[in-house]
Amino acid sequence: MGDPAGIGPEIIARCLADADLRASARFVVHGCGACLTLAQERCGVLSNWYRVDAAHDPTHRWLDDVVVLDDTSHGDLITLATEPTKRGGSASKQWVESAIADALLEPHAPRHVDAVVTGPISKQSWNMAGFKWLGHTELLAARTKSKRACMVFESPQLRVALATVHIPLMSLRDVLTIGCVFEPIDLGWQACQQLGITRPRIAVCGLNPHAGEDGLLGDEENRVIAPAISMAREQGIDAHGPFPADTIFRQAVGGRWDMVVAMYHDQGLIPLKLLGGGTAVNWTIGLPIIRTSPDHGTAFDIAGSSVANHDSMRSAISLAVQLAQRNATMAATTS
């Protein structure tokens, strides 16, 4: 559900009321029943679910109902102010931990889920609750024991992979390595293939203005990024660059590239969110489980007003369903 004081309950309530979406999969919601009920009433939508008390093991109905709410009260969460809180951080952290644990279960286990879609959390709320994780991506990588994990953003207009994620801009020089750049090229190529793009074309951004101007504006392009691209090409990946970031995204939107690898968070997400129109999806590649999420945050400023756009959450669920169906097809083919 994400942070209960944010827009997570609202966008989930709207998605669960979508008949086409409900017909595409079965759903388990880790969250607070009171928050979801209140969000449903505020949004003027109607849907039903089977409630399971999170304090007890779920019954076989978990497998039979279209929507199951794994309900935990965490006190009276519906009274939380729409701002970062310790209680909101504690609740949202427990919910995502439960979802990850269920996804890691064997497929025959009653609680097993085929994919995880995370609602938006507040990093400040997690910090207030005593959790030092920088976000979902870092927690997911640790819990799944994944040495490589990459944030890929999927939208109808643009597809972006990030070489670095939640780090201060001034720390980039100390973090950016050849391996750090190679991984999103490699994992981004794999992501494209999972989407049915058989021969992905990958464009890699430079870090500095004009991609460094051959060393005049910085040496990261020659020292770090170009060697990573060479490594990728040696492995058969159709990767090119480094390109100036102020021109390469237009080429990608025009169809020249299937994926753009950005060196830092805002370099990739500003054009993606500008063009995505609220439909972009955050997809974590490199994990043994499927995880997607909407491309926005908790939006505390509009939480509770029932005006939050649920398109990105809907797209996140749709992508998770698509990827889970692909996995099921592959498993059936190889068995």
- The DSSP code sequence of 179-198 is HHHHHHHHHHHHHHHHTT-S
Residue where one domain finishes, among candidates 96, 122, 146: 146
Range 232-258 average pLDDT = 97
In which residue are the tokens 């978990």 written?
Answer: 62
Summarised one tens digit per residue, pLDDT across range 297-323 is 999 999 999 999 999 999 999 999 999
Summarised one tens digit per residue, pLDDT across range 58-104 is 555 566 679 999 998 777 899 899 999 999 999 999 999 999 999 99
CA–CA distances in Å: residue 59 to residues 32, 93, 189, 293: 18, 24, 40, 27
Summarised one tens digit per residue, pLDDT across range 269-295 is 999 999 977 889 999 999 999 999 999
Residue 308 belongs to some domain of the structure? no
In which residue are the tokens 């021109």 written?
Answer: 247
Residue 324 belongs to some domain of the structure? no
Shared domain for 188 and 137, answered yes or no, is: no
User: What's the confidence (pLDDT) of residue 74?
Assistant: 73
Q: In what order do the strands lie in the sheet with 281-285?
A: 116-117, 291-294, 281-285, 150-154, 159-162, 259-262, 201-205, 238-243
Query: Residue 23: is its pLDDT beyond 90?
Result: yes
Summarised one tens digit per residue, pLDDT across range 24-60 is 999 999 999 999 999 999 999 988 888 888 776 655 5
Closest residue by Cα to residue 295 from 310, 307, 309, 278: 278
Q: Are 42 and 131 in contact (CB under 8 A)?
A: no
Cβ–Cβ contacts within 10 Å for residue 251, how many? 13
Strands 150-154 and 159-162: antiparallel
Shared domain for 214 and 125, answered yes or no, is: no
**This prediction's pTM:** 0.92
- Take residue 243 and report the two structure tokens written for it: 């390109």
Residue where one domain finishes, among candidates 286, 303, 323: 286
35: Cα within 13 Å, side-chain hemisphere? 35
| Strand partners for 152 | 161, 283
**Domain tally, the chain:** 2
Apex 230 CA angle, 202 and 217, nearest 5: 85
Shared domain for 124 and 250, answered yes or no, is: no
Shared domain for 60 and 97, answered yes or no, is: yes
**What stretch of H or E contains 241?**
strand 238-243
Strands 281-285 and 238-243: unpaired
Query: Residue 216: is its pLDDT beyond 60?
Result: yes
Shared domain for 139 and 208, answered yes or no, is: no
Domain that holds residue 86: 1-146
- CATH of residue 158's domain is 3.40.718.10
Shared domain for 164 and 132, answered yes or no, is: no
In which residue are the tokens 């770090």 written?
Answer: 224
Closest residue by Cα to residue 281 from 273, 197, 289: 273
Shared domain for 174 and 200, answered yes or no, is: yes
- Take residue 25 and report the two structure tokens written for it: 């999969």
Q: Are 40 and 46 in contact (CB under 8 A)?
A: yes
Shared domain for 126 and 172, answered yes or no, is: no
